[in-house]
Amino acid sequence: MKIFLDTANPEEIRKACDTGLVDGITTNPTLASREDKPFQELIKEILDIVNGPVSVEAVSRDSAGMVREAKGYSDWGENVIVKIPMTVEGMKAVKALSREGVKTNVTLVFSANQAFLAAKAGATYVSPFLGRLDDRGHSGTILLQDIMQVYKANGFGTQVIAASVRSPTHVLHAARLGVHVATLPPRVFWQLFEHPLTKEGLEKFERDWQKVKP
Ligand code: E4P
């Protein structure tokens, strides 16, 4: 499973990419609004840091507008993936863009049928939002399971990105299901490295080393 970082913060991206374990980035208008930089400048800075795919969201609501935006974003870098919302207009845009070889990430997906349509339209990636579904009393993990089953049964090549990840448990569920990508807020990325027994064990080794070191 690939790891993407779900942030538009260049410092966080640099720090996490330094581990060599980050394969790409996803951004959205909310994440971009937290940074104090003009949008294009911000995305270009991110593209300079990351070699892998960087998702950038189209904000038009009509398919022609989305296609126009997508083509503009694509000029910013070869690794740009255009995020398109899961709407009728969005799927028209994905269909048109896939014909032209523009890579897309269908976002705001909350049902397996929506994921089915996104794949049928030719999306490169589809992003089911686990946390937001859990927040409403549904199960993001069951949604992931359903999507993986539907994609396998239909032979779709669209890659599934576990999005709206809130905890390491979400990451584990996605990895168990063989999901292609999990996009993680930096906090969850760093949590994956940690275990209290690792910390405790290291402290003991350090104390004991003091007793035996030459
Ligand atoms: C996905 O690409 C989105 O940017 C993201 O995962 C949304 O997560 P949130 O529910 O934490 O806003």
Query: pLDDT tens across 176-203, in order?
Result: 999 999 999 999 999 999 999 999 999 9
Centre of ligand 1 to C-alpha 146, Å, is 20
- Domain holding 105, by residue range, is 2-209
Mean pLDDT score, 109-121 = 98
**Taking the C-alpha atoms of 61, 32, 178 and 110 in order, what is their torsion angle to the nearest 10 degrees?**
-40
Ligand 1 contacts CB of residue 164 (under 6 A): yes
Q: Which tokens hold the place of 96?
A: 């048109």
From CA 161, how far away is CA 150, in angstroms rounded? 15
b/e map 133-160, b = 16+ CB within 10 Å: bbeeeeebbebbbbbbeebeeeebebbb
Active site residue 83: yes
Q: For residue 39, is it within any domain?
A: yes
Q: For residue 151, is it within any domain?
A: yes
Give residue 17's pLDDT band: very low, low, confident or very high (50, 70, 90).
Answer: very high
Q: What is the pLDDT of residue 168?
A: 98
From CA 52, how far away is CA 18, in angstroms rounded? 14
- Given ligand 1 and candidates 13, 25, 28, 104, which is best to mutate, with the most ligand atoms within 8 Å of its CB? 28
Mean pLDDT, rounded, of the chain: 98
pTM: 0.96
Ligand 1 contacts CB of residue 183 (under 6 A): yes
* Ligand 1, atom 7: closest residue by C-alpha: 164
Q: What is the pLDDT of residue 44?
A: 97
Q: What is the CATH number of the domain that holds 48?
A: 3.20.20.70
Q: For residue 214, is it within any domain?
A: no
- Which position among 15, 37, 71, 83 bears the catalytic label? 83
Which stretches of the chain are assigned E, i.e. beta strand? 2-6, 24-26, 54-57, 80-85, 104-109, 125-128, 159-162, 181-184
Count of structural domains, the chain: 1
Ligand 1 contacts CB of residue 6 (under 6 A): yes
Give residue 55's pLDDT band: very low, low, confident or very high (50, 70, 90).
Answer: very high
